[in-house]
Structure 1
Amino acid sequence: MPDLPLIAWVVLAGVLGLIVGSFLNVVILRLPARLEAAWRQEAQSVLGLEAEAEPLPPGVVREPSHCPHCKHPLSARDNIPLFGWMLLRGRCRYCQAPISIQYPLVELLTALFSAIIVWKFGVTWAALAGLFLTWALVALSGIDFRTQLLPDQITLPLLWLGLLLSLLHLFVAPQPAILGAAIGYLSLWSVYWLFKLLTGKEGMGFGDFKLLAALGAWMGPGALLPIILLSSLVGAVIGGTLIALRKQGRDVPMPFGPFIAMAGWIWFVAGDELWHAYASFSGMQ
């Protein structure tokens, strides 16, 4: 491994994050559509209905990138992460349709978060694992924000990876990882059913349980309460802002997964510092 200063590795992580962020945009946009098409086909098969002759949505890996409006394939220069969008000034080169701000935003955030991970953990196996966690949380947040889905295809591998990493004692030992996964799932599962019994409504989805279980496997049970509190705080601030800006009613469903993911990532990177700051402020030390 080249003997580079840490700042060079941080910059390289940011560049890698830009590239990965471009791929995550594809995952965010295409994976839910593929899953929904597969669910329809499965439901038609179970019900004995004649399958509808509809083309499958583009796959995540094989199909090249194209404009969602005119379907024209994008050139290599248009696919340059972040800079392609800037050079095009946010519009398709061929039909001039606006390109969603999601593309550069996901790429920029993935780059920033990736750089922070390497700055925090250095050039270590923990940093490599942290990068995978970061990328998964970005993808899950984007998907849930757009579709209110948290696919098992991402949450469950993330959960199992956290449990397997505990065998290496990379972040937590096996016992805290198992307890964190179990308590994380059951805590939101209990809240879900209590809320449903009291109101007759579903307050959150099962994907939220699995996401918190995955974070518990990575960080142990001690991280769960801070993550829930942080996610509630962030959700209240962002949710209230969106309600005010969009002038929509409070009964409009809002995904909770992005706030869990955001709070989990913050605690993963700065949990110790936040806890010490709280302890000092409250006079516990």
Structure 2
Amino acid sequence: MTAFALLRESCPALFSLMSALFGTIIGSFLGVVAERIPPMLLDDEARINLLFPASHCPSCQHELAWWENIPLVSWLALRGRCYHCGSAIPLRLWLLEAFTFLFFGATAWFLPDIPTLFSLWLLSAFLLPLALIDLRHLLLPDCLTQPLLWTGLLVQLAHPTLPLSDAIVGAVVGYLFLWLLYWTFRLVTGREGLGYGDFKLLAALGAWCGWQALPSVILLASLTGIAGYCLFIKSNNKAASIPFGPALAVAGVITFILQSYSLTPLIICQMIFDIFSIRE
């Protein structure tokens, strides 16, 4: 950690650039995670995992050469199409790499200390594929939410930003809150308003941020979810199920960043209300 801190202090621009480039590599791998985990879970006949087979075109099965697999650059050089068969390469994969490039670079420049920075990167490495998978498949896999929870507890143990007891209570309260909300809504309406994956994701965020942060996480996620729902209805002109996982992911990252600047949950909630309140 000391070497990274010295590099950041002596040459912050170089440190941010190196972090951004590292982010593109992580983003490329997270794209593989987001694309492969759903068929691994939903298709019993799918013979794939995160490592095998090697990166290939899903249409013609052409195994990508090294120059076809350079983050950010290859998609642009190939103009978004497979070099072998010409089929389209999903734009979402390039956008993910671009986002991680910007996110890692920006956070490396602004976040106050190195351990918090690395913790944020680890948190986002779980939340990004979870959000993408939930958007496309309405699924929050246990193979990501459960390691995220345990990793949060271990991070608090190794680099405590809050008492470990607060992280444990946060995990329990986060799960139980949405579990109770789910059953209340189901008993009143006869319909399901949330999925069990949402409970586990909020439990994981409680482990990372502590039980005190849960009100701000829930408030931010609710506002983000409402905004996303309104945009979806406006663009599609129809009602549909809207995943809550991406909203929780956005709220979790924002809350974690604000906490790194010692902004308490009450201050965060007040800031949110001030931003979204209607002033006369």
TM-score, length of structure 2 as denominator length? 0.87
Match status 1:237 vs 2:227: yes
Does the 8 A contact of 1:110 with 1:135 survive in 2?
A: no
Q: Pick from 22, 28, 32 the counterpart of residue 22 of structure 1.
A: 28
Cα root mean square deviation, aligned: 2.2
Give, in whole Å, the separation in 2 of the partners of 1:265 and 1:279. 15
Does the 8 A contact of 1:91 with 1:97 survive in 2?
A: yes
Partner of 1:7: 13
Displacement of 1:171 in angstroms is 2.2
Q: Deviations over 1:30-63 (max 9, x none)?
A: 11111223xx5xxxxxxxxxxxxx4x33221121
Partner of 1:177: 167
Partner of 1:99: 89
Q: Which amino acid in the other structure matches residue 185 of structure 2?
A: F
Q: Secondary structure at the match of 1:60?
A: coil
Give, in whole Å, the separation in 2 of the partners of 1:90 and 1:275. 41
Give, in whole Å, the separation in 2 of the partners of 1:60 and 1:278. 41
Q: Pick from 93, 108, 116 the counterpart of residue 126 of structure 1.
A: 116
Q: Where in structure 2 are the equivalents of 1:162-241 lying within 5 Å?
A: 162-241=152-231
List structure 1 runs of 4+ shifted beyond 6 angstroms.
none
Give, in whole Å, the separation in 1 of the partners of 2:138 and 2:170. 24
Q: Which amino acid in the other structure matches residue 262 of structure 1?
A: V
Give, in whole Å, the separation in 2 of the partners of 1:118 and 1:137. 18
Displacement of 1:126 in angstroms is 2.3
Q: Secondary structure at the match of 2:241?
A: coil
Match status 1:269 vs 2:257: yes
Q: Where in structure 2 are the equivalents of 1:129-144 lying within 5 Å?
A: 129-144=119-134
Q: Secondary structure at the match of 2:83?
A: coil
Displacement of 1:279 in angstroms is 9.1
Percent identity between the aligned chains? 41
Change (3 A) 1:276 1:154: closer
Does the 8 A contact of 2:37 with 2:49 survive in 1?
A: yes
Give, in whole Å, the separation in 2 of the partners of 1:254 and 1:276. 24
| Runs (5+) with no aligned partner, structure 1 | 41-53
Does the 8 A contact of 2:216 with 2:269 survive in 1?
A: no
Q: Secondary structure at the match of 1:63?
A: coil
Displacement of 1:179 in angstroms is 1.4
Partner of 1:61: 51
Does the 8 A contact of 1:6 with 1:122 survive in 2?
A: no
Q: Which amino acid in the other structure matches residue 22 of structure 1?
A: S
Match status 1:278 vs 2:278: no
Change (3 A) 1:198 1:182: same
Q: How many residues align?
A: 264
Does the 8 A contact of 1:110 with 1:138 survive in 2?
A: no
Partner of 1:43: none
Change (3 A) 1:91 1:183: same
Displacement of 1:123 in angstroms is 5.5
Match status 1:258 vs 2:246: yes
Partner of 2:104: 114
Q: Which amino acid in the other structure matches residue 125 of structure 2?
A: W
Give, in whole Å, the separation in 2 of the partners of 1:268 and 1:62. 34
Does the 8 A contact of 1:30 with 1:58 survive in 2?
A: yes
